[in-house]
Amino acid sequence: MNQQELIVKLQQGDEQAFKVIVETWQNMVYNTAISIVQSPEDAEDIAQETFVQVYQSISSFRGDAKFSTWLYRIVVTKSLDHERKKKRKKRFAVLQTLFGEKEEIYPADFQHPGVMLEKKENAKELFKALKQIPEKQQVAFTLHKLEGLSYQEIAGIMNTTLYAVESLMQRAKNNLKKVLEKKYNDYEE
């Protein structure tokens, strides 16, 4: 059964088609989510939410873009929404600590399935640095460098132009370089 037939069956409510979609795309969805949220538990939740949304809104999929582009849009949006909520909670927690309520804020212990053991420390620093650059640059960098997507595919996912993606990637690289240089210069002093 090809992808188009699978989508038609899913649009007709076929549960077996949904199972095939999940089995086919679950690694991509999870890896994309974890690259953005950097927490295995949160990435699992986002993956589940993504597939629930796919099931609920498959009838709105018109086929204007590839299914994978549509799916990436959903998981990226859900991941970014999660990060925004987390930032709001952290700000609230900081306010609570200012007013005497004790609540420690710990950075997530990040584990990405695509990172080899000997490179974990460098990857951890890269992911910390990614959190410090603008959101659109973070998404473009993640989709290109971690998910291996082309600039054209990223343009489709981010609903922007190829030129804009090229620009985002250049700025992301420059900003990451600045963040990492500052971190390592501070470390050496």
Span 151-161, average pLDDT: 93
Span 159-177, average pLDDT: 95
- Amino acid 95: pLDDT: 46
- Structural tokens at position 64: 């204007």
- Amino acid 64: pLDDT: 82
- Amino acid 3: pLDDT: 85
Span 42-61, average pLDDT: 94
Non-local (6+) Cβ contacts of 81 within 8 A are none
- Amino acid 147: pLDDT: 86
Percentage above 90 pLDDT, the chain: 53
Instruction: Identify the CA nearest to 166 among candidates 155, 176, 157, 177.
Output: 155
Q: What does the domain layout of the chain look like in residue ranges?
A: 1-79, 116-189
**pTM for this structure?**
0.71
Spell out the SS3 assignment of the chain.
CCHHHHHHHHHCCCHHHHHHHHHHHHHHHHHHHHHHHCCHHHHHHHHHHHHHHHHHHHHHCCCCCCHHHHHHHHHHHHHHHHHHHHHHHHHHHHHHHHCCCCCCCCCCCCCCCCCCHHHHHHHHHHHHHHCCCCHHHHHHHHHHHHCCCCHHHHHHHHCCCHHHHHHHHHHHHHHHHHHHHHHHHHHHC
Span 36-45, average pLDDT: 92
- Amino acid 104: pLDDT: 39
Q: Which residue has the higher pLDDT, 22 or 188?
A: 22
Distance CA 101, CA 22 (A): 43
Instruction: Identify the CA nearest to 141 among candidates 126, 156, 161.
Output: 126
CATH fold label, 1-79: Rna Polymerase Sigma Factor; Chain: A (1.10.1740)
Residue 22 has pLDDT above 90, yes or no: yes
Residue 133 has pLDDT above 90, yes or no: yes
Per-residue pLDDT band for 106 (boundaries 50, 70, 90) equals very low
Residue 71 has pLDDT above 90, yes or no: yes
Domain 116-189 has CATH 1.10.10.10: yes
Main-chain dihedrals φ then ψ at residue 6, nearest 5 degrees: -60, -45
- Structural tokens at position 81: 């929404």
- Amino acid 87: pLDDT: 73
Report yes or no: 134 and 167 within 8 Å, Cβ to Cβ: no
